[in-house]
Amino acid sequence: MNSSPVIRKVYQGVACRHQMFRMFDRHAQRPNRWDSDDAEALYAGEWFEIDEAGHDYMFEILPPLWIRGSMFAMREFLTGRVTSVFFALRIDQTIRYFHGYCDLSDKESVEAMRVAIIERESRPVRMMTREERLEHIWSSTADQYRGYADLSSPEASRGKRTIAFYGGRAGNRLRILEDLTDQEIAAKLPVHLRNLPSQAAA
């Protein structure tokens, strides 16, 4: 593996079971999905909050690979040595539940994610980084309105994630996710997330 992946929140709010299953494979449409690509780097480090029912359902669906206190790992690996790890964490006197993808070839990955989640969710004021806004947009957009730039795109954009914008009579237009302006990001976010303060990524 390369250096440790960036641990990152990819959805704001608590994902219900349906949304949880959608986000288990947020990168299903990536080019060359079945080839030998760097899928581990796409998934490792991603995390989001789930509800208690989703957490308990995943605990019961298959015997876990391991259980460590309030954490357990799924026996089936997503790709390489990356698998789902579920957390039940006490944050501000409340038990909350999370899913994260950890690369188990790194012995420190699970603890690093646990610490990162607690640090991120213990902030006194709700806020979102630009990266978190973009990841939330990607996570919450239906498959038919998100994808990857293909060979018809400029070479520098090929393979990058795209989002469709409604263009009226002209039809939908595709924009590279990472190139969205602040105004475009605001247009894609739900109203309750548009005006949250920003902060540099932790």
Q: Per mean pLDDT, which range of 33-42, 55-64, 115-124, 144-153 is the poorest?
A: 33-42
Q: Where are the domains of the chain?
A: 8-121, 130-194
Q: What's the token pair of residue 189?
A: 């976010």
| DSSP state at residue 181 | -
Task: Give the pLDDT band (50/70/90) at residue 48.
Answer: very high
- The single residue listed with the structure tokens 């969205």 is 180
Q: Please give the average per-residue pLDDT across 120-139, as a whole number.
A: 85
3-state secondary structure of 35: coil
* Angle in degrees, CA 197, 199, 202, rounded to 5: 145
pLDDT number for residue 36: 53
Residue pLDDT, tens place only, 159-202: 789 888 876 666 677 888 998 888 888 888 887 777 666 764 44
The Cα-based distances of 47 to 34, 97, 109, 110, 118 in angstroms read: 23, 11, 12, 11, 12
- For residue 154, pLDDT over 80 is answered with no
Q: Is the pTM of this model over 0.85?
A: no
Q: What's the token pair of residue 37?
A: 């690509």
Q: Per mean pLDDT, which range of 47-56, 67-76, 187-196 is the poorest?
A: 187-196
Q: What's the token pair of residue 66?
A: 């391991």
